[in-house]
Amino acid sequence: MELTVPLIMASMIDNVELGVEYVAKNAAFVVVIGIVGLGSALVCQYMGSKASQEIGTDLRNVVFEKINTYSNENLDRFGSSTLITRITTDINQVQTAVAMFIRLAVRAPFLIIGAAVMACFIDLRLSAVFILLIPLIALTLLIVTKKTIPLYGSIQAKLDRLTSRFSEQFSGVRVIRAFNTQDYEEARFEKTVEDFKDEAIKTAKISSALNPLTALFTGFSIAAVLYFGSFQIESGTLTAGDLIAFVGYLTQISLSLGIVANLIVLFTKAAASAKRIVEVLDAENIQNAIDSNVNAADKESLIQFSNVSFRYSGANEDTLSDISFNLGYGETLAILGNTGSGKSTLINLIPRFYESDSGVITFAGRDIREYDNRELREQIRVVPQTSLLFSGTVIDNLKFGDKNADEKAAVTALETACLEGISHDSPVSAGGKNFSGGQRQRLAIARAIIHTNTPPKLLIFDNSFSALDGATARRLRENLKKHLPDTAFIVITERINSIVDSDVILVLDDGRVIGSGKHEELLSNCEKYRDIYESQQ
């Protein structure tokens, strides 16, 4: 529709002597063309918006689903701040690029090529201007694009750091105020913001050259067309209407090239963001192949570690070395050791939050690598050191343990966790800030033990009684044994008095087992255990 307007205008100018009626008919035709073009543009805008929103929604869902399959090693490698940026800002960049592509990336080249062809039909000699104009602008686009693609990736990386800094300071605001370090933290945040600003300005300086250079080249082209066209009009080889039409097509090309220049900047940003999104989607969990020569596991053991070692990515030494032990059905294993001895790392290997580097771990007689992660983790419940609760109600949080949990199951779980005074429909603020530390720990325990059909085979407590007084902790352990008689327990604790009746006690030191057995055995044959026991007495 737009490409026909300059031709109609040329006809009106060259045939103005035909009278008002002729001009009015052509003007009416231009109006009709404008209405049809507007309708087409609106359809394109609507479809572009709809498609881009659908793509953005699908991408967010796919990326979120992928992140939920990550092992802890993948999460450690990326970090939460960059994953947040990639699932929000980066996908927004791609979504915007898709919308602009549908709206403009087809229209602009069509106008450029169409206008050039139409201009050639008007006068082939004047069309030589296009032969010079288009390569100049294309070269400019190529240079700017080549320089800005890595810079946009750097901008997104600095945005990751900015997000991380803000998240850290926001979550630690109580500590910052307690130590009166607001000025120091503000200075750190300002430096991060300045780094982000400097990188953004550096990139903007380069990309902002596109529009003025495009306008400059186009301005010279129009001047050349008017100059040489005036001679042709004077010689009678070109009409005034044709020259006006030619300038109209050149103007259309100029506007379209400006659109292309802006699209190049937008697509350059989107390309950097798309690369970061693909990194998230392509990241594979490190899975060790199953050794077919491994001897059959002890069917009487629920958990069996055989010479297991593990090292964090980038570490110089093993965090765990040559760990071996058995835990039977319904038994209790206690793990004791100094801070940094590898206690939490050990239990993270059982549900495959991390993958062991060597050795074999079996669960219910099968190598844990034979399980689907979902199948394995449905049989294991973990109560972590940090009792994180989600906003909603108590029963909303309990349903993380069993989505089919009803009021009866919730009441049973709360009573078992010594929370008789808390109702299942009590509100929970984000992070459980409206509960005390001990209540949060017991709510986390209730979430782990709740079940409507099959109870978990293994329950892991990672220092989950630290906020409880001795009497409450003792009553809670008695309730757990009564409520879950066939469930095995792994307990990490610093209090020997709470684990003296455990079936097996492991003593860790620097990632190695230096003692294993019952309480009385360790008192007689493990110096480290005896020292800890005497210091606590």
For residue 292, is it within any domain? Answer: no
Domain match, 348 and 199 both: no
Domain match, 275 and 307 both: no
Please give the structure tokens belonging to residue 377: 């983790």
- Looking at 282, 314, 339, the residue that finishes a domain is 282
- Looking at 247, 282, 317, the residue that finishes a domain is 282
d(CA 196, CA 160) in angstroms, rounded, equals 10
Please give the structure tokens belonging to residue 252: 């259309």
pTM comes to 0.67
> How many domains does the chain fold into?
2
pLDDT for position 61:
94
Q: Which residues are within 8 A (CB) of 342 and not within 5 positions of it... i.e. 6 or more apart? A: 319, 320, 508, 510, 511
For residue 294, is it within any domain? Answer: no
Amino acid symbol at 47? M
Helices H, strands E: what count in the chain? Answer: 19, 12
Beta bridge partners of 404: none
For residue 198, is it within any domain? Answer: yes
- The residue written with tokens 């990639």 in the block is 86
Q: At what angle do helices 5-14 and 20-67 cross, to 10 degrees?
A: 170
For residue 465, is it within any domain? Answer: yes
Ramachandran region, residue 266 (left: φ > 0; alpha: ψ -120 to 50; beta: rest): alpha
Domain match, 277 and 165 both: yes
Domain match, 337 and 274 both: no
Tell me the longest C-alpha to C-alpha distance in the chain.
Answer: 119
Q: From first to last of its 537 residues, what are the pLDDT tens digits of the chain?
A: 888 888 888 778 777 777 788 888 888 888 998 899 899 889 988 998 999 999 999 999 999 988 888 877 888 888 887 888 889 889 999 999 999 888 887 788 888 888 888 888 787 777 777 777 777 877 887 788 778 778 887 887 888 888 888 878 877 787 888 888 888 888 888 998 999 899 889 888 887 887 788 788 878 888 888 888 888 888 877 888 888 888 888 888 777 877 877 787 788 888 888 988 999 998 876 554 454 444 444 456 899 999 999 988 878 888 999 999 999 998 999 998 888 888 889 999 999 888 888 899 999 888 998 888 888 888 999 988 888 888 888 888 888 888 888 888 888 888 888 888 788 888 988 878 888 888 888 899 999 988 878 888 999 998 888 777 778 888 888 888 888 888 999 999 878 887 888 889 999 988 899 989 898 888 888 888 888 888 887
pLDDT for position 481:
87
pLDDT for position 152:
80
pLDDT for position 404:
85
d(CA 502, CA 404) in angstroms, rounded, equals 32
For residue 68, is it within any domain? Answer: yes
Can you give the residue range of the structural domain that contains 12?
2-282
pLDDT for position 296:
44
For residue 326, is it within any domain? Answer: yes
Domain match, 485 and 362 both: yes
Domain match, 264 and 395 both: no
Domain match, 363 and 460 both: yes
Domain match, 345 and 214 both: no
CA of 185: how far to CAs of 49, 80, 86, 174, 309, in Å?
41, 20, 25, 12, 39
Beta bridge partners of 382: 460
Domain match, 13 and 82 both: yes
For residue 207, is it within any domain? Answer: yes
Q: For position 39, which CATH number holds? A: 1.20.1560.10
- Looking at 282, 309, 344, the residue that finishes a domain is 282
Q: For position 476, which CATH number holds? A: 3.40.50.300
Helix (H/G/I), strand (E/B), else coil: 426: coil
For residue 500, is it within any domain? Answer: yes
pLDDT for position 228:
83
Domain match, 316 and 233 both: no
Domain match, 308 and 278 both: no
Domain match, 321 and 391 both: yes
> Which H or E run includes 509?
strand 504-509
Long-range contacts of 45-52 (CB under 8 A, 24+ apart): 45/103, 47/102, 48/98, 48/99, 48/100, 48/101, 48/102, 48/103, 49/99, 51/98, 51/99, 51/102, 52/95, 52/96, 52/98, 52/99, 52/102
